[in-house]
Amino acid sequence: MPELPEVETIARGLRQSILGRRILSVTLGKTDFIDDPSALEQHLPGRRIAAVERYGKFMLLRLGQPDTTESSLSSAGGAANGDSVAGSLLVHLGMTGHIAPFPAAKPHEKHTHVCFLLDDGRELRYTDARRFGRMAYLEGSALEEELQEFGADPLVVSAEEFVAQVRGHRARIKALLLDQGVLRGVGNIYADESLWRARIHPARLGSRLTKKEAERLHHALRDILEKAIVLRGSSISDFLDAEGAPGEYQRHHRAYGREGKRCYRCGTLVRRAIVAGRSSYFCPRCQSQPRGFAMLPLPRRGKARKA
């Protein structure tokens, strides 16, 4: 479940550990999550990792020109200006994806599907038990077109633009927050957390939010994402950053995963409902339900089973 804060955390870690390294070779295992596996084998060997960026929930490894020389990459951490990069490796971690460098001699952990041998003897490895992730090498117009499919970065978008986007759609606000074409990087956790903070029910329609509510949501979302980044993301199942350390933001969750627990604001029991096809956690008192929204009965789950 890496969402924006988790991917940002991993990107920062990789920036420290592999920026400027050259990829010597590529070894592939299962490839059904890779757009064009042969493109990786064809284009990556010899290329230098010129920048590590986050784009929504994607990790973007900007690669130097195939003929880039040592000297042209002098400034590590440096801004690889757009012209100097000819292509990028896009990595989406899906739910269970991990990417991190290891000593090449270290045995592969289970579900390792991609290995990039680096010029310092380490291997950048991608593991993904469920292979819900995605990997692709793209360059030129294909890269541009791919990136263009996505909406604004929630940390960058202005309040005006956010309000306009949200109120310009009739879909449920939860669906809008999750729609990567509207806003890039928000997933289930941070959607529910920001809606709780802004006191907006997930099933409300975007077009029916008041300007004030939409502004409140924008502020809540940005604030929560920034705090989550500081705490290196949320480790709810097995998320670990590139150094293998867990995040801490899960301790600050106010809605997500708290079904049956008391709302931090009013003490009402937090509920769970399926909204936009996803489990959604909310306080039924603080986040008043829109008219016409029938909450479907949910099967009991978890160990809180009292027969």
Site for DNA, rule CB under 7 A: 1, 32, 57, 92, 94-95, 110-111, 129-132, 134, 169-172, 175, 178, 180, 187-189, 206, 238, 276-279, 299, 301-303, 305
Distances (CA, A) of 100 to 13, 29, 80, 105, 274: 9, 16, 21, 14, 34
Both tokens of residue 33? 């999550």
Q: Which helix (H) or strand (E) holds 63?
A: strand 58-64
| Residue 216 backbone phi and psi in degrees, to 5 | -60, -40
Q: Output the smallest distance, CB 119 to DNA, in A.
A: 31
In whole angstroms, how close is the CB of 178 to DNA at the nearest point? 6
Q: Which residues are catalytic?
A: 2-3, 57, 278
Report the distance separating Cα 126 and Cα 116, nearest Å: 9
Nearer to DNA, 267 or 302 (CB): 302
| Shortest Cβ 72–DNA spacing (Å) | 33
What's the CA gap between 20 and 78, in Å, rounded?
A: 10
Cα–Cα distance between 176 and 182 in angstroms, integer? 7
Cα 136 to Cα 257: distance, rounded to the nearest angstrom: 32
Q: Residue 6 or residue 123: which is nearer to DNA going by CB?
A: 6
Nearest to 238 by CA among 138, 93, 47: 93
19/256 with CB nearer DNA: 256
Nearer to DNA among residue 31 and residue 65 (C-beta): 31
Kindly tell me which of 117 and 203 has the beta carbon lying closer to DNA.
203
Nearest distance in Å: CB 287, DNA: 17
User: Closest distance between DNA and the C-beta of residue 301, in Å?
Assistant: 4
Phi first, then psi, for residue 46 (nearest 5°) are 95, -15
Q: Beta-carbon neighbour count of residue 181 at 10 Å? A: 10
- State residue 269 phi and psi, 5-degree precision: -75, 130
Whole-number Å distance between alpha carbons of 82 and 1: 30
